[in-house]
Amino acid sequence: MLIVNSVLGNVHHETSVKEKIEQAKLNGTLKKLFLTRSEMEKSRLQKTTEDGLELGFVFEPGKTLHTGDVLNANSDTIMIHQLPEKVLHVRVKEENNPTLLVQVGHIIGNRHRPISISDDGTIVFPIHNDGELDLFKELFHDIVDHLELHVSEEIFTSNKGMNSHEH
C-alpha cells in the first residue's frame, strides 16, 4: 500500500497541475480514484484506485479533498473524482417571504445538513435515501404548499461556510 499525505494541487485551479494531468494521460500513468463526499472529508482512509493501486491517506485533521485534486504517488499521478449522491432541491415559491426562508433554514439546520444555495435561491442539501423526501415533506408540513421539492443525483458541494456535520 502506498501512503499519501499531501495534495499536489487541483486541476480546476492550477495550470501546472492541469499540464501534469495531460502529461500523465499521454504517459499512461494517470489513475482515477472515486470517493464519496464523506470519504473526501476523512483525514485517514484506505482506498483502491479503479485499476487496483492500494492507497492509504494520512492527512492533517481538517484537510478535505476536492474533485480534481491531484496526488503524486511514485511514478503515477492520481486524480480525485467525487461520486454523485442524492440531493434534495428546495425552492420557496414566494421569493419575497422571509418568514418562509427562515422556517426552511431552521428545519434543514436542525437536521445538521450542509447546504448549497444556488443563484436562483434554491437550497440544495444531501439526503441519505429517497425516503427522506417524505421525511422532509413531513417536517415542512405547515409550509410544503409554498415549496417546490425534487430529488436528483449529482455531485454536491456546499457553499463556503455552509458545511455542517451530519448525524
Query: Distance between CA atoms of 143 and 122, rounded to whole angstroms?
Result: 16
Q: Give me the helices (H) in 28-114, please.
A: 37-40, 98-110
For residue 167, what pLDDT band results from cuts at 50, 70 and 90? very low
Residue 132 grid cell: 427522506
Domains and CATH numbers, the chain: 2-82 (2.60.260.20), 85-154 (3.30.70.260)
Residues 97-131: pLDDT tens digits? 889 989 999 999 999 999 999 988 899 999 988 88
Residues 92-103: pLDDT tens digits? 998 788 899 899
Residues 43-97: pLDDT tens digits? 999 999 988 889 999 999 888 999 999 987 777 899 999 999 999 999 999 878 8
With 0.85 as the threshold, say if the pTM is over it.
no
29: left (phi over 0), alpha (psi -120 to 50) or beta: alpha
Neighbouring C-beta atoms of residue 17, cutoff 10 Å = 20
Per-residue confidence (pLDDT) for residue 162, from 0 to 100: 61
What percentage of the chain reaches a pLDDT higher than 90? 69
Give every CB contact of residue 145 below 8 A, 6+ residues apart in sequence: none
14 pLDDT above the threshold of 90: yes
